[in-house]
Amino acid sequence: MSGPTHPAAAGPDLVADVLVIGGGPAGCWAALSAMEAGASVVLAEKGYVGTAGATAAGNSSIVYTLPASAGREKAIAQRVARGLGLVAADTVDRVFDEVYRQLNRLADWGYGFPKTEDGTSYRGSMRGVDYLRFLRQRLVKGGVRILDQSPALDLLVADGVVAGARGSDRRTGAPWTVRSAATVIASGGCAFLSGALGTRNLTGEGYLMAAEAGARFSGMDFTGQYGIAPRHTSVTKGIIYFWASFFDEAGARLESKGDRQDIVANGLGRGRVFAMLDKASPRVQSGMRSQANIFAPFDRLGIDPFTQRFEVELIYEGTVRGNGGLLIGRDTATDVPGLFAAGDAAAREEMAGATSGGGGPNASWALATGTWSGRAAAAFARGIGAAHGDRRAATPAPAAEGRGDAADTAAVRAAIQREILPLGRSFFRSTAGLEAASGALETAWRDAGALGRTDAIARRETQAMAATARWIVASARRRGESRGIHRLADRPARDDGQLHRILSGGLDRVFAAPVGARHMEAAE
């Protein structure tokens, strides 16, 4: 931690061994595993635990494979191949082992997995809202204190060790403080208010708080991820487009090198793009229909997507589906003592490499790292001891102190979005475009620091988006090649001399530096 500190604000205090920030799958598993390890736990969620976040907005696929089986080996090999040199097979195997154990426990507890045609429990898919509601009930029964609608705004630090957080109840405006021996950031990724389904609250405050305490990031160059959606909707559930054909406005079929997003992105560069799910068999169509939210736009417009073309667009998903996040070690510890990270808040190159982890791998990562982080946080708390609540804690000096009303929140957000959301900025990157974005984002960062304190939540969201955008652009500028979802128009080829990770961080002064793919040390 650098810079001066100031005392934590007065207000209602809670004391717990472990504080978990974020109530999606990673946060719920972190709270559950910390509780099972004997820790007292508080879970603070910006929305409502059970309905908030990207997972709650639809069905969640997950990778369920028997250890040491042919299926496991195939799943690992697929991850390694798609990762383009950055995936660690042993990490993937360890993730899948944890998923296998915990999904079996879910079944033992009575979670209602879907059934196959022969009546067998199918553990590779869950309805997101049911999954989270089930975990919430488990946490409540176990004694975890849940703070709904209570975004965290600042971490607390005591002698260089994270010692909890403080925030605000968005319903009442009342402040809250949790003094903890260990803290888990499981607040998800950042989609920059793009409108993608389930991402409204995913604006990066967990990143910002961690950076203020001195944490670093990895993989922020691999954030050029977009989801296909029917035009003028938010539904970016991409699995249905495995069975899609794509067309231009004249009805000519579109073909392109790369994946579905590449076909749509290249088509959009020439005009409007349409899709039709004409490759889906009757059985697949029936399965798709079970996901009501995916078909709500079609039903509302009176479109049969299996026989009629519909217009599509690409919506930015950022670090929600990309791979950037907080740098973590094997036990999910960040650079900062007492601070752990899980799920989309943590960097995922060892799981997904240079391409998106999509649904199943990302869901697997959330479950596994959530479980590991809760366990590790509980162990850290035991080492701190029972008197941790008596430590003299303060917040790190804020990254961008509110200095009046020199800037307008909506205008600052729009300036950030202009440098991140367009296809020409994050899907098709260029050296010149990244340089221009870097300069514009420095201005946005300064403007974010000039926001007043009238709405602390909106102010912190805006500052977090500005900070996250700067780490993304700085990291992308350091990767002088195209690899996976980092596509550099003026350097379109992969360069295996750059088979490394990019670490980034900093606030008023941002840095980005390459390191070996399997090494955590910064290259200073």
What are the boundaries of each domain within the chain? 9-220+319-388, 226-316, 409-516
Spatial separation of the C-alpha atoms in residues 500 and 208, rounded to whole Å: 24
- Degrees (nearest 5) of the Cα angle 180, 184, 189? 145
pLDDT of residue 1: 33
**Per-residue pLDDT tens over the stretch 34-83:** 999 999 999 999 999 999 888 888 778 899 999 999 999 999 999 999 99
Could you read off the pLDDT of 385-442 as tens digits, one per residue?
888 878 888 888 766 554 545 578 999 999 999 999 999 999 999 999 999 999 999 9
- Using N-to-C axis directions, what is the helix angle for 456-478 and 205-213, rounded to 10°? 80
Residue 522 has pLDDT above 70, yes or no: no
Structure tokens at 171: 């319903």
The alpha-helical segments, DSSP class H, found in 143-259 are 205-213
What is the reported pLDDT for 116? 81
Q: What is the mean pLDDT of residues 350-366?
A: 93
> Strand 175-185 vs strand 13-21: parallel, antiparallel, or unpaired?
parallel
What are the φ/ψ torsions at residue 254 (nearest 5 degrees)? -95, 135
Whether the Cβ atoms of residue 18 and residue 184 lie closer than 8 Å to each other: yes
Mean pLDDT of 138-157: 97
What pLDDT sits at residue 115? 82
Mean of per-residue pLDDT scores for the chain = 91
Structure-block tokens of residue 71: 């299926």
Q: What tokens were used for 87?
A: 């995936």
For residue 521, is pLDDT > 90? Answer: no
Fold topology of 9-220+319-388: FAD/NAD(P)-binding domain (3.50.50)
| pTM for the predicted model, two decimal places | 0.93
What's the pLDDT tens digit per position in 79-106? 999 999 999 999 999 999 999 999 999 9
Architecture of domain 409-516: Up-down Bundle (1.20)
**Which pairing describes strands 226-230 and 161-168: parallel, antiparallel, or unpaired?**
unpaired
Distance of alpha carbon 383 from alpha carbon 395, whole angstroms: 22
Per-residue pLDDT at 345: 98
pLDDT digits (tens, 9 = 90+) for 275-310: 999 999 998 888 787 776 778 888 888 999 999 999
Strand partners, 162: 157
The pLDDT value given to residue 403: 53
Tens of pLDDT along 296-346?
Answer: 888 888 999 999 999 999 999 999 999 999 999 999 999 999 999 999 999
275 and 304 Cβ atoms separated by less than 8 Å:
no
Give the bridge partners for 275, in sequence order.
246, 310
For 226-316, give the CATH class.
Answer: alpha beta
**Per-residue pLDDT at 12:** 65
CB 160 within 8 A of CB 337: yes
